[in-house]
Structure 1
Amino acid sequence: MQEDIDARIQSFYTSVFDEHARLTTRSAQGPLEYVRTQEIIREHVSAGTMIDIGGGAGVHARALVDAGYVVEVLDPVSRHVEQARALGLYARVGDARELPFSAGSFDATLLLGPLYHLAAYTDRILALREAARVVGPGGFVFAAGLSRYIAFGQATLGRDVPDPYPGEWVSLAAQGKPADGMRFPAGHFHTAEELASEATAAGLDVIEVVGVEGPAGILLESMVDAGEELSQAALAIARAAADRPGVRDMSAHLIAVARVPGGSGD
């Protein structure tokens, strides 16, 4: 299964979908996701070195470098690596499950894409352990998942309810398993609690799991330009709802903020 997903990732991001546009111009949700993700990272890490695993076209890394961080990008898609290099970033092709870095090479790891492209629990744990391995004791790991609640809503709402109820809908709700035939090469959809559990199983100390875009994010996804007033309202709601159990799952993206054990604060 994962070999098929990996092949679809290459095709999807090379010739179908522009990851750079997703965070900038594709919809009004992209800038909201961008702002909130930057806020979450900078709230916990004020300086230092980072590896952005699955860093896509380098949008987040470029902003962090401009703010004084030292950031390297690693991504499995050559197109993304080329786009990141075009932004003046150091980037290379690589796999989140086998990082080409020695232990403790960075102060923080961004794992903002790989987990939701990995179908197997064992692969997700491996990616999380690798993210932790390359960070020094006490360093941070920011690990993102796609919300199962949002995925289920997008798959089921706005249409008649079939009878019998489709088994793939049940699998999505109960297990986070993507439906067959999706254009997006998804591997898994998380709940906030599950994302925290996986980070803990990988040996990390979870500080919090937060929703990124908030309940209004899905509305902005349907709009190219939401206008300043609505965009600011959505941002305020996203900040207020970020750590509310249940409500945080109404964000399209969830981020587990975790630390590697062994730092001076432990």
Structure 2
Amino acid sequence: MNQNEIDEAIQAYYSGEFDENARLTTRSAQGRLEFERTQEVIRRATPPPARVLDVGGATGVHAAALVATGYDVVLVDPVPSQVATAALVGTFKAVVGDARALDFPDDSFDAVLIAGPLYHLAGRDDRRRALREARRVCRPGGVVHASAIPRLAVFAAAALEPALLDADLDGWLDLLRVGTPVGSTRFPGGHFHTARELEEEMLASGIRDVTVIGLEGPGGFALESVTEVNEADYAAAIQLARTFAGAGHIRDFSNHLLGSGLA
């Protein structure tokens, strides 16, 4: 799909086909791990009180949690129905907008989280435009956090269903080679990264001192298949995520990558 088609598919997918709120809360234990690790990274880099822009913030799960602990948050998302749901929380501003053209002045925020847009943008120029916008609205020395989905995570999910691989083997090889999504999947993906590629795109967008981690770590895939785990098993998974967050190619075996750098 070209970007216009992806943009249309995003509206349909997040308006009615998929519950993004449940993904981070009740759908699986992986969602809890993703949520808690993201919050952990943001809070460590920029303690409250601080002003945070949540780009691609969907229904406001991250925004609400940050506000509850002393942050001033503004949420931006391209899907009107998700923004309407986020606005009902009532503790932060939620607006419809595009990551590639943020309607905020320069240096408006202490930190920016861009979680979602990068894996819905097919072109490198569009991804760099979104990253440059995040850097522009973040004050000098503030922190930009950018989330991406690693290629190996997408391929691993397909590898469990041989029929998917057999239906478009060349397409799956292209995914591994250059990050191009396979057209047979329902998810409106634009691009899937490697950790090194995410770092390079952030640096090329003017973000400094970039570090990329595997957000959920090697235990994230196990938690994807269950809604509940006992606390001992969850504690082991989050410890694995913390221990191996920046460890070489292990970070590419996480459900998500998270790059952080200075504006």
TM-score by length of 2: 0.95
Instruction: Name 2:145's counterpart in structure 1.
Output: 142
Which secondary structure does the structure 1 equivalent of 2:119 belong to?
helix
Q: Give percent identity, aligned residues only.
A: 47
Mean Cα displacement is larger for which, 49-58 or 222-231?
222-231
Instruction: Read off the aligned partner of 1:5 and give its amino acid letter.
Output: I
**Structure 2 residue aligned with 1:131, among 131, 134, 137?**
134
Amino acid at match of 1:14: S
**1:101 partnered with 2:122:** no
Displacement, 1:206? 3.2
Instruction: Confirm or deny: 8 A CA contact 2:149 2:256 kept in the other structure.
Output: yes
Distance 2:166 2:28 in 1: 34
2:125 pairs with 1:122: yes
Aligned residues: 260
- 1:20: which partner in 2? 21
Asked if structure 2 preserves the Cα contact closer than 8 Å seen for 1:146 and 1:190, the reply is: yes
Aligned counterparts of 1:173 and 1:220: Cα–Cα separation in 2: 23
> CA-to-partner distance for each residue in 1:27-83, whole Å, 9 max, x for gaps?
111101111010111111012111101011100011111110110000000111111
The partner residue of 2:202 within 199, 211, 214 is 199
Match of 1:114, as an amino acid?
Answer: P
Aligned counterpart, 1:223: 226
Tell me the residue number matched to 1:64: 66
Task: For 1:1-266, list aligned pairs within 5 A.
Answer: 1-47=2-48, 48-88=50-90, 89-159=92-162, 166-260=169-263
1:264 matched residue in structure 2:
none
Segments of 4+ in structure 1 off by > 6 A? 160-165
Separation in 2, partners of 1:26, 1:206: 34
CA distance in 1, matches of 2:166, 2:126: 35
Specify the code of the residue in structure 2 equivalent to 1:20: N
Once residues 197 and 163 of structure 1 are traced to their aligned partners in structure 2, the CA distance between those partners, rounded to angstroms, is 32
Q: Normalized per residue, which structure has more helix?
A: 2
Structure 2 distance, partners of 1:142, 1:51, is 10
User: What stretches of structure 1 of length at least 5 have no aligned partner?
Assistant: 261-266
CA contact (8 A) 2:212 2:260 kept: yes
Distance 1:167 1:107, change over 3 A: same
Measured after TM superposition, the shift of residue 207 of structure 1 is 3.2
> Shift of residue 105 of structure 1?
0.9
Distance 2:233 2:165 in 1: 35
Partner-residue secondary structure (3-state), 2:44: helix
Contact 2:120 2:190 in 1 (8 A): yes
Question: CA 1:160–1:39 in 2, change beyond 3 Å: closer, same or farther?
Answer: same
> What residue identity is the alignment partner of 2:57?
G
User: What is the alpha-carbon distance in structure 2 between the residues aligned to residue 72 and residue 210 of structure 1?
Assistant: 25
Change (3 A) 1:163 1:99: closer
Q: Which residue identity lines up with residue 83 of structure 1 in the other structure?
A: T
The answer on whether the counterparts of 1:61 and 1:72 sit within 8 Å (CA) in structure 2 is yes
User: Which ranges in structure 2 are unaligned for 5 or more consecutive residues?
Assistant: none
- The normalised TM-score by structure 1 is 0.94
8 Å contact 1:26–1:224 — kept in the other structure? yes
SS of 1:125's equivalent? helix
Distance 1:161 1:185 in 2: 17
What is the RMSD of the two structures over their aligned residues, measured on CA atoms? 1.5
